[in-house]
Amino acid sequence: MSNDIRILAKNRAFVRLWCSGTISELGSAVTIVALPLVAVVYLHFSTLEVGLLASVSDLPWLLLGLHAGAIVERLPKRPVMVIGDIGRAALLLSIPVAAALHFLGAVQMFVVCGVSGTLTVFFEVAYGTRIPAVVPKDQLNLANGRTTATDTAAGLFGRSIGGYLAELVTAPVALVLDALSFLLSALLLSGEDLTEEARNPRPRKNLSSDIKEGMRFIFENPSLRSLTIEAASFNILMAAQQALSLIFIVRILHVASQEAGLFLAVPGIAGVVGGIVAPRLCSAFGDGTVLRWGLLVGAGSGVLVPLAGSGIWSLLYAVGAFGLGLGTVLSNVVTSSFKQIACPPWLRARTRASTRVFTWGSRPIGSILGGTAGTLIGCRSALWLIAIGFLLTPGWLMRSPVWKISSLSSLHEFSKDG
């Protein structure tokens, strides 16, 4: 066992939180595959209806994300996560029960997706604020690197597991196993250390005021503002690229269907590698160096994707996708730690929710833009525009104080910018 793992293993509260988050992420990934399969196989959903089902799962971030941050800020975090896990398990179990009783209908599917998506929002907001509450400041890069690696792996393999389980034991039974994963996550959280974050020293007014305070903290701080805008811009471009990836790989690069899945898995594999090596690179070269080079390597690698061709030249796509995924995760580990340290404990839930609304809420925009550009000017031309966009995204940070950071230990120089 490496020294890094030994350090984290001594922190029982973090280990329970880490395992719980990974299992919950695995369950969410299985749900992404199993729920639509139930809709298609048992309810004969059309393509449009499946798309609407997926959008209902994502809508809570846009509609409730800001309010979730303010609400979670007022509550103990562990019960929020436990209720989120148990609630999602109950919702998923309702589907195979209804299917067995021949009561399953479209309305129930949409309700399960919407409510489950809402519980996921609350879980994610609370989960992100717990890490800096149980991990010392000097171990945040290590903790964020490991959680990023395992979350990426869970998301990558969870979808494959969901498809395999659906084929092996049918989609409704797969949802039963999925529900058990959420219950296991809740069980792990129930034994977590009771350490809670500091409460807001100022008296609370109302949700609207709390939301505005969180937004002001982000956008009045040059570093946090730049990080949020850069992440939102990057996610728009990434979603646009992902919308075109399968078509580009199969129709233009002429990659066989069985190999296309491997190409699509490359960014996820790069994310796992990045999460593992990021803490060691930060220790060896400094947090600022890893942040800057991660952004530049990721942005530069995006150019290789539209350069790819058929045959051996298709490997350019894999190399570009790997570099893009690796660079992104390297920089994300540092920026996650930066934000956790820069935000006061009583603002973390609100700032996490606010940034997620902007960064995750921008993904549907990217998907629409990518599909539209691919239709109007062709897939390769659209990917060139996206690659140029990737090259420009580090510019948001180059004029920001965060670009000058040497290490997180010097963060006090930047955390009160503006």
pLDDT reported for residue 304 = 93
**What angle separates helix 47-73 from helix 348-361, to the nearest 10 degrees?**
160
Q: What is the pLDDT of residues 370-412, one digit of tens each?
A: 888 888 998 899 999 999 999 999 998 888 888 888 776 655 4
pLDDT > 50? residue 62: yes
pLDDT > 80? residue 278: yes
**pLDDT tier, 348 (very low <50, low <70, confident <90, very high otherwise):** confident
- 280 vs 345 pLDDT, higher one: 280
pLDDT reported for residue 409 = 62
Give the H/E segment covering residue 17. Answer: helix 12-43
- Among the three residues 123, 155, 190, which one is the final residue of a domain in this structure? 190
199 within domain boundaries: no
Domains held by the chain: number? 2
Give the residue-averaged pLDDT of 235-241: 88
Exposure string (b/e) for 203-219, b if CB count within 10 Å is 16 or more?
Answer: eeeeeeebbebbbebbe
Give the H/E segment covering residue 415. Answer: none
Mean pLDDT of the chain: 83
222 and 180 co-located in one domain: no
pLDDT > 60? residue 246: yes
208 within domain boundaries: no
CA distances from 203 to 48, 74, 199, 346 (A): 47, 11, 10, 12
pLDDT reported for residue 118 = 92
DSSP 60: H
Q: Is 63 helix (H, G, I), strand (E, B) or coil?
A: helix
Neighbour-count burial of 61, counting CB atoms closer than 10 A to its CB (0-12 exposed, 13-18 middle, 19+ buried): buried
205 within domain boundaries: no
**H helical segments located in 103-139:** 106-134
Q: What is the pLDDT of residues 326-345, one digit of tens each?
A: 999 999 888 888 888 888 88
27 and 73 co-located in one domain: yes
Q: Is 363 helix (H, G, I), strand (E, B) or coil?
A: helix
185 and 218 co-located in one domain: no
- 191 vs 359 pLDDT, higher one: 359
Q: Which domain holds residue 6?
A: 1-190
141-145, 212-216, 257-261: which has the minimum mean pLDDT?
257-261
24-28, 170-174, 264-268: which has the minimum mean pLDDT?
170-174
184 and 220 co-located in one domain: no
Q: Is 103 helix (H, G, I), strand (E, B) or coil?
A: coil
Other CB atoms closer than 10 Å to residue 362's CB: what's the count?
A: 20
- Among the three residues 190, 206, 227, which one is the final residue of a domain in this structure? 190
Alpha-carbon gap, residue 370 to 389, rounded angstroms: 12
Query: SS3 helix, strand, coil % of the chain, rounded to 5?
Result: 85, 0, 15
202 within domain boundaries: no
197 within domain boundaries: no
pLDDT > 70? residue 163: no
- 72 vs 246 pLDDT, higher one: 72
Q: What is the pLDDT of residues 287-340, one digit of tens each?
A: 889 999 999 999 999 999 999 988 888 889 999 999 999 999 999 888 888 888
Tokens matching residue 87:
């609630």
55 within domain boundaries: yes
19 and 139 co-located in one domain: yes
113 and 186 co-located in one domain: yes
Tokens matching residue 227:
């990080």
5 and 154 co-located in one domain: yes
In degrees rounded to 5, what are phi and psi of residue 319?
-65, -45
Q: Please, are residues 56 and 74 in contact by the beta-carbon 8 Å criterion?
A: no
Give the residue-averaged pLDDT of 184-209: 68
Give the H/E segment covering residue 147. Answer: helix 140-169
- 243 vs 241 pLDDT, higher one: 241
Q: What is the three-state SS of 206-273? A: CHHHHHHHHHHHHHCCHHHHHHHHHHHHHHHHHHHHHHHHHHHHHHHCCCCHHHHHHHHHHHHHHHHH
142 and 258 co-located in one domain: no
170 within domain boundaries: yes
Residue appearing with tokens 């952004």: 295
pLDDT reported for residue 196 = 54
293 and 414 co-located in one domain: yes
DSSP 101: T
96-100, 109-113, 260-264: which has the minimum mean pLDDT?
260-264
Alpha-carbon gap, residue 364 to 369, rounded angstroms: 9
Give the H/E segment covering residue 417. Answer: none
Alpha-carbon gap, residue 408 to 405, rounded angstroms: 7
What share of the chain has pLDDT > 70, as a percent?
88
Shortest CA distance to 273 belongs to which of 131, 152, 155?
Answer: 152
Alpha-carbon gap, residue 327 to 297, rounded angstroms: 5
pLDDT > 50? residue 77: yes
Alpha-carbon gap, residue 270 to 401, rounded angstroms: 28
221 and 185 co-located in one domain: no
Give the residue-averaged pLDDT of 41-47: 80
200 within domain boundaries: no
For residue 368, give the amino acid letter.
I
279 and 391 co-located in one domain: yes
293 and 363 co-located in one domain: yes
Q: Is 198 helix (H, G, I), strand (E, B) or coil?
A: coil
- 57 vs 269 pLDDT, higher one: 269
Q: What CATH code is carried by the domain that includes residue 219?
A: 1.20.1250.20
